[in-house]
Amino acid sequence: MLDDATARTAVTAAADRLFYARGVQSVGMDAVRAEAGVSLKRIYALYPSKEDLVVAVLAGRTQQWADGLDRWAAEADTPREQVLAVFDFLDAWFREDGFRGCAFINSFGELGATSPRVAEAVREHKESFRRYVEELVQEAGLPDAVALQVVLLAEGAQTTAAITRDADVARQARAAAEALIDAAVPA
């Protein structure tokens, strides 16, 4: 029998795959059970409601997002390039098989109006991303306003890439960010 930590990992990983591929509302808990190989009784002992499971999946996605951004930023040579690495991270992600856009935007679209906990998890994630970009912008010595502009480009790129299935959107957003940064650098 799996210990709780291993069972939680199996259930959240299965739910993440299913929710991301098919949408939260179209996936029943029986599908999660089958994908995870964990009984429904055990799943409900770990996650008393589907909403609890969705919030756990989003927490895992927040960690994946932060780790991915950090890996790409660590490869950049300058603070300016660290800001732009956000778009390099997006470019790689948009090219992955099964890319379906931002899981947070998708979840908010499905559940934001009916689940305050899901809406709050999405808001916290988006706020943490904004703070992350603000730190990069400050380290690059850029005006504070550039942070929100970069965030808006990144958010728009995610939605556009998901809808159009055009992975090159990240490169276009990067070019726009470069132009913003260049215009913001004092002469």
**What are the boundaries of each domain within the chain?**
1-48, 50-184
- What's the predicted TM-score (pTM) here? 0.93
pLDDT at 187 (0 to 100): 59
CA distance 104 to 99: 13
Q: List pLDDT tens digits, range 55-93.
A: 999 999 999 999 999 999 999 999 999 999 999 999 999
Segment 11-19 mean pLDDT? 98
For the domain spanning 1-48, the CATH number is 1.10.10
Q: Could you count the other beta carbons within 10 Å of the beta carbon of residue 49?
A: 12
Mean pLDDT of the chain: 96
Q: What is the dihedral of CA 154, 12, 27, 90, to 10 degrees?
A: 20
% the chain with pLDDT above 70: 99
Residues 6+ apart with CB under 8 A from 65: 125, 129
Select the CATH number that applies to the domain covering 50-184 from these four: 3.40.50.1970, 1.10.760.10, 3.90.1300.10, 1.10.357.10. 1.10.357.10
Segment 100-122 mean pLDDT? 97
H or E stretch at 181: helix 169-184
